[in-house]
Amino acid sequence: MREMPDMAVDIVARPSDALADGPSEPAGSTGPTPAEGPAASAPAAVPAGAISVEDLNVYYGGFLAVRDVSLQIRPHAVTAMIGPSGCGKSTFLRTLNRLHEVIPGARVEGAVLLDGTSVYDSAVDPVQLRRVVGMVFQRPNPFPTMSIYDNVVAGLRLTGRHAKSELDGIVERSLRRAALWGEVKDKLRQNGMSLSGGQQQRLCIARALAVDPEVILMDEPCSALDPIATLKIEELIGELRASVTIVIVTHNMQQASRVSDQTAFFTMGDDRAGYLVEIGDTIQIFTNPREQLTEDYVSGRFG
């Protein structure tokens, strides 16, 4: 995983750090020099933000909520999680940045690797991890007492002191990346709660972007928004995938088909444990699924 600027402590000690420079590496900088030619070519730089999940079980106390999930989340792509309510999509999402750990009794077995490094390693600080793997929730949740400006830099301020000029630059860059700058640049000192729901959600995305994440997890980010605000978030997801890995839980299959590159379909067994039925390119999942359960769900024949 890539180093974060201004991080006092890296989230893990990484012996090999093969992916450390990730997408900010200038194109070709690790490739061969002209003199070396193609025969001597080094492996292409892999963007940071690849997640590998292996044999994951998630429990709430004695209840097995998610059973035996293994899947790969491609870097710099959008992965959608779909499936019936209660099949464990949100639970699974929260395990990717250890957010389930704030729920008493919740625990996991198995592995989650970010760029090959276990996020459950004892050397990983979960607070730092949640900056590298940010989260956007169903309901926009700007910090209610803070201005738009302060909301964007809230996470950064936790990492130490920053010059005002640096913060100003990060605020503008993050708001531009979140497609919000034009709408708020003249009122950065106004309270974040003064914005519309859709703007608040983009503000929360700007807040996640300000700490330069590799991955953003989105848990039904449009479910509280009107269709126009939803469209803006979907367009934004399309733009962000160039620089960030996105994992989105959505109950809206049209949304999954519009915004995602790959789709994972979850369902649940008789014991109510959620499990992964299949994952594949979104077009394949929606037009030519391998499993009958997926076919039934995407064609609307599910229960």
Identify the bridge partners of residue 215 per DSSP, sorted by sequence position: 133, 245
Nearest approach, Cβ of residue 236 and ligand ADP (Å): 22
Identify the bridge partners of residue 56 per DSSP, sorted by sequence position: 69
Nearest approach, Cβ of residue 68 and ligand ADP (Å): 15
Which strands form 63-73's sheet, in the order they lie side by side?
Answer: 117-118, 106-114, 51-60, 63-73, 274-281, 262-268, 78-82, 245-249, 215-219, 133-136
Q: Whose Cβ is closer to ligand ADP: residue 92's or residue 149's?
A: 92
Q: Whose Cβ is closer to ligand ADP: residue 91's or residue 262's?
A: 91
**Residues 64, 273 contacting (CB under 8 angstroms):** yes
Residues, the chain: 303
Q: Which residues make Cβ contacts (< 8 Å) with residue 302, sequence separation at least 6?
A: 84, 267, 296
Identify the bridge partners of residue 57 per DSSP, sorted by sequence position: 109
Nearest approach, Cβ of residue 169 and ligand ADP (Å): 37
Residue whose entry in the numeric block shows the structure tokens 């995602």: 260
Q: Whose Cβ is closer to ligand ADP: residue 89's or residue 258's?
A: 89
Q: Whose Cβ is closer to ligand ADP: residue 13's or residue 103's?
A: 103
Characterize the bridge pairing of strands 215-219 and 245-249.
Answer: parallel
Nearest approach, Cβ of residue 65 and ligand ADP (Å): 4
What 3-state class would DSSP assign to 204? Answer: helix
Q: Whose Cβ is closer to ligand ADP: residue 115's or residue 219's?
A: 219
Nearest approach, Cβ of residue 60 and ligand ADP (Å): 3
Q: List the Cα angle 83/47/131 in 5-degree steps.
A: 70
Characterize the bridge pairing of strands 245-249 and 262-268.
Answer: unpaired
Q: Whose Cβ is closer to ligand ADP: residue 87's or residue 135's?
A: 87
Nearest approach, Cβ of residue 77 and ligand ADP (Å): 21
Q: Whose Cβ is closer to ligand ADP: residue 65's or residue 179's?
A: 65
- Nearest CA to 84 out of 255, 293, 234 is that of 293
Nearest approach, Cβ of residue 222 and ligand ADP (Å): 15
Contact footprint for ligand ADP (CB under 6 A): 60, 65, 83, 85-91, 103, 272, 274
